[in-house]
Amino acid sequence: MHPIVNDIYTALPEIFVLGMAMAILLIDLFLTERTRFLTYALSQFTLLGAAMITVATHTPGVGYAFSGMFVDDPLADVLKLMSYLATSVVLVYSRSYLAERGMFRGEFFVLTLFALLGMMVMISGRNLLTLYMGLELLSLCLYSLVALDRDNPRATEAAMKYFVLGALASGMLLYGMSMLYGITGNLDINQIGSALVKGAPDRAVLILGLVFVVAGLAFKLGAVPFQMWVPDVYHGAPTAMTLLVGSAPKFAAFALVMRLLVQALQGVVHDWQGMLILMAVLSIALGNIIAIAQTNLKRMLAYSTISHIGFLLFGIMSGTLNGFIASMFYVSVYVLMTLGGFGMILLLSRRGFEAENLDDFKGLAARHPWYAFLMLLLMFSMAGVPPTIGFYAKFAVLQAALQVGLVKLVVFAVLMAVVGAFYYLRVVKLMYFDEPQHDAPVRAQPDMTMVLTVNGLAVLLLGLMPQRLMELCAYAILHSIQ
Amino acid sequence: MMANFQDYVFYAFAAILLGAGLRVITARNPVHAALYLVLAFFTAAGIWLLLEAEFLAIALVLVYVGAVMVLFLFVVMMLDINLDKLREGFWEALPVALPVAVLMALEMALVLGSRHFGPERVATPKPHPADYSNTAELGRQLYTDYVYPFELAAVILLVAIVAAIALTLRRRKDTKYIDPAQQVKVKRSDRLKIVHMPAEKPTPPTAEGDRT
């Protein structure tokens, strides 16, 4: 095959998403408020098409394109498919919320698709340059989406904080990357990896670069001590944007960690292991303890995210293939639960009212027993109560940490998970044992109710048979990471 | 090793660059700060010339100094920036910020010194022959090996345009905006209406009318 044909064939999903995003940008100009549904339908079609292309061009081997800057391995394909699914669910959940608040505009869909493109570039990046470009593409879209409700001072403030801290994190990441480039003379992930395995050319510079890279990654992931933007952004952003920020980009962040720490910096695994252990322990402790004091559900879920990121790092820091599989399993489960949790807030919100306080969930079981049951499943799963999927996710990462002998840390994480169970179960208590404060009916589109039901039940059903998802993660990791 | 002329030029440029950079963040007047930034760009372009990156050096002057900084100066002059408010909290934050900054500077000095990046560690690149075209080489690289990040940069710029318009465009209802297309399409019949009405006889002036 001619190199250009190979390049286009390998990157076909990205090219399709880019083309559709630009087409939607143009088509949307000719639509009115009443025909805007077409933009939504085209966006969903884009996601479906990209998924079909990704499946059709999938091979268990590793393919390269664009002079080795782009990699198409099973890890990339699986993470991309998960990102399409998460983005599609985000669009379904946020449709009526956006329409009620005057944000059902073409820009939302275009920026969301560009954000997805950024995630895909990150997932398939095999060069420090492309990884960084993908990260910037994703981040810029997310900053502007958070600020899209521009007359809302809280959203604008959140966007500003997100932007400034995000730019700082990008700067740190770039600085670290420049150190790596300085000592290896290469931007290519695999070549940096092999240069470091052969023997570190200069340890002092390498470690300085590593520290900056890990700090930049921790910022993007939202791990302690770089977590301060997470609660403010999750709380301040319109809930539909919080849903987007909190869900699909986590797949891209996971891919970024895998590419940078595991594929490029495998040679210094013992150095980053120590840093990750510290961040994981602090994240789990701080996230779970501060979440108890929250009365706002969005803020509570933000702190819960910090603790989940801590668990995610537990798998990665073990440095074994088992650990990476467990981490990938964890991140997919986390996104599933986050989609459900914020989807529930979107479901109960209506024009002029945000169901974001814990009190808004009081007595939900009396008003809408089915929704309360779904929320109960989601909360049980986040807390890690068997037989929900959240239990298996925690179990898998802690088992991976046990295999490398981190017994004390595992005991600590389990204790913190018990602390965390308090605030998840408090939501259940509010729904089932408290009196409702108002009896406004919940009006939801049938598609949203259906997807939310599937989402809630998936948490239970996958928990009963986690084998398939685990096999998928194992397939992706084992065929991509040597 | 004997220092040659190029080394002196480099140190001169480097000293000016550092001084200008420092003044950008310490100058009280934002217009002065912007002008110092222009100086910093100019000297950086000089250093790039020493590295035989002629195209990039000229692009830096043309794009940053010529376009971006002029725009920036306009913005700075139009905005009424209250510097005293910006400087509020500087002295309170200093006891924390200063040790951190000093520590970071020390660490960087330790790692980035000549012990790790000195000339004996990094080989001096061979100078190119006189007929070597930096611009052609850059263009070839950009459209072959680096075409993927190049396209990505284009997408990022597109996102910046979309986001900037989405965040700032407001259609005001009270403007007297005229659509040029409508204006060009106008016909005589839209503007001028000829009304036929019977001619009226002038009424003869009355005696009372005369008096008033």
Residue B107: predicted pLDDT: 85
Map tokens 């002092």 to a residue: A204
Least Cα separation, residue B111 to chain A (angstroms): 6
pLDDT at A251 over 80: yes
Residue B208: predicted pLDDT: 58
Structure tokens at A6: 């190979």
Residues of B with a Cβ under 8 Å from any A Cβ are 107-108, 110-112, 116-117, 121, 144-149, 152-153, 155-156, 158-160, 162-163, 165-167
Q: What is the DSSP letter of A357?
A: B
- Pick among A208, A210, A211, A212 to test the B interface (most B CBs inside 10 A): A208
DSSP per-residue codes, A141-153? HHHHHHTSSTT-H
Cβ B152–A18 below 8 Å, yes or no?
no
Nearest CA in chain B to A70: B148
Share of chain A above pLDDT 90, in %: 76
Structure tokens at B122: 């990094």
pLDDT at A317 over 60: yes
Residue A198: predicted pLDDT: 81
Q: How far apart are CA A453 and CA A461, in angstroms?
A: 12
Average pLDDT in the A72-95 region?
A: 95
User: How confident is residue A3, by pLDDT bands cut at 50, 70 and 90?
Assistant: confident
Q: Note if the bond before B125 is cis, omega within 30 degrees.
A: no
Q: How far apart are CA B50 and CA B44, in angstroms?
A: 10
Q: How far apart are CA A12 and CA A4, in angstroms?
A: 12
| CB crowding B108-125: b at 16 or more within 10 Å, else e | eeebeeeebeeeeeeeee
Q: How far apart are CA B84 and CA B89, in angstroms?
A: 10
User: How confident is residue B3, by pLDDT bands cut at 50, 70 and 90?
Assistant: low
CB-based contacts of B156, cutoff 8 Å, min separation 6: A133, A136, A137, A140
| Angle (CA) A77 A7 A43, round 5° | 55
- Pick among B115, B122, B145, B152 to test the A interface (most A CBs inside 10 A): B152
Residue B31: predicted pLDDT: 87
Residue A93: predicted pLDDT: 94
Residue B203: predicted pLDDT: 78
pLDDT at B1 over 80: no
Q: Lowest-pLDDT range, A68-72, A477-481, B34-38, B183-187?
A: B183-187
Give this complex's ipTM.
0.92
Q: How far apart are CA B153 and CA B140, in angstroms?
A: 17
What value does the mean pLDDT of chain A take? 92
Q: Lowest-pLDDT range, A223-237, A362-376, B1-15?
A: B1-15
Map tokens 């120590």 to a residue: A274
Cβ B149–A144 below 8 Å, yes or no?
no
**Which chain B residues have a beta carbon less than 8 Å from that of A143?**
163
**Which chain A residues have a beta carbon less than 8 Å from that of B144?**
67
Question: Is A386 buried (19+), middle (13-18) or exposed (0-12) by CB count in 10 A?
Answer: middle
Give the model confidence (pLDDT) of A378-423 as tens digits: 999 999 998 899 999 999 999 999 999 889 999 999 999 999 999 9
Q: What count of CB pairs under 8 Å joins A to B?
A: 76
Give the model confidence (pLDDT) of A268-289 as tens digits: 888 999 999 999 999 999 999 9
User: How confident is residue A324, by pLDDT bands cut at 50, 70 and 90?
Assistant: very high
Q: How far apart are CA A282 and CA A307, in angstroms?
A: 9
Least Cα separation, residue A314 to chain B (angstroms): 29
Average pLDDT in the B76-103 region?
A: 82
Nearest to B116 among A110, A144, A205 (CB): A205
φ and ψ at residue A65, rounded to 5 degrees = -150, 165
Map tokens 């997919």 to a residue: A332
User: How confident is residue A200, by pLDDT bands cut at 50, 70 and 90?
Assistant: low
CB A460 within 8 A of CB A391: no
Share of chain A above pLDDT 70, in %: 99
* pTM score of the predicted model: 0.90
Give the model confidence (pLDDT) of A107-158 as tens digits: 999 999 999 999 999 999 999 999 999 999 999 999 999 999 888 899 999 9
Average pLDDT in the A191-198 region?
A: 87
Cβ A130–B152 below 8 Å, yes or no?
yes
**Which chain B residues have a beta carbon less than 8 Å from that of A69?**
146, 148-149
Cβ A110–B162 below 8 Å, yes or no?
yes
- The single-letter code of the amino acid at A204 is A
**Which chain B residues have a beta carbon less than 8 Å from that of A117?**
155
Cβ A204–B152 below 8 Å, yes or no?
no
Average pLDDT in the B135-164 region?
A: 93
Residue A470: predicted pLDDT: 94
Give the model confidence (pLDDT) of B108-142 as tens digits: 888 877 777 777 777 777 778 888 888 898 999 99
Question: Is A108 buried (19+), middle (13-18) or exposed (0-12) by CB count in 10 A?
Answer: buried
**Which chain B residues have a beta carbon less than 8 Å from that of A7?**
148
Give the model confidence (pLDDT) of A413-468 as tens digits: 999 999 999 999 999 999 999 888 877 778 788 899 999 999 999 999 999 999 99
Least Cα separation, residue A407 to chain B (angstroms): 34
Q: What is the DSSP letter of A440?
A: P
User: How confident is residue B94, by pLDDT bands cut at 50, 70 and 90?
Assistant: confident
Residue B206: predicted pLDDT: 66
User: How confident is residue B209, by pLDDT bands cut at 50, 70 and 90?
Assistant: low
Residue B210: predicted pLDDT: 53
DSSP per-residue codes, A166-179? HHHHHHHHHHHHHH
Nearest CA in chain B to A7: B148
- Pick among A129, A163, A191 to test the B interface (most B CBs inside 10 A): A129
DSSP per-residue codes, chain B? ----HHHHHHHHHHHHHHHHHHHHHH-SSHHHHHHHHHHHHHHHHHHHHHTT-HHHHHHIIIIIIIIIHHHHHHHHHHS---HHHHTTTHHHHHHHHHHHHHHHHHHHHHHHSHHHHSTTTSPPPPPPPTT--HHHHHHHHHHTTTHHHHHHHHHHHHHHHHHHHHHH----SS-----HHHHHT--HHHH---------PPPPPPHHHHH-
pLDDT at B211 over 60: no
Give the model confidence (pLDDT) of B167-206 as tens digits: 988 777 777 777 888 888 888 888 888 888 888 877 776 6
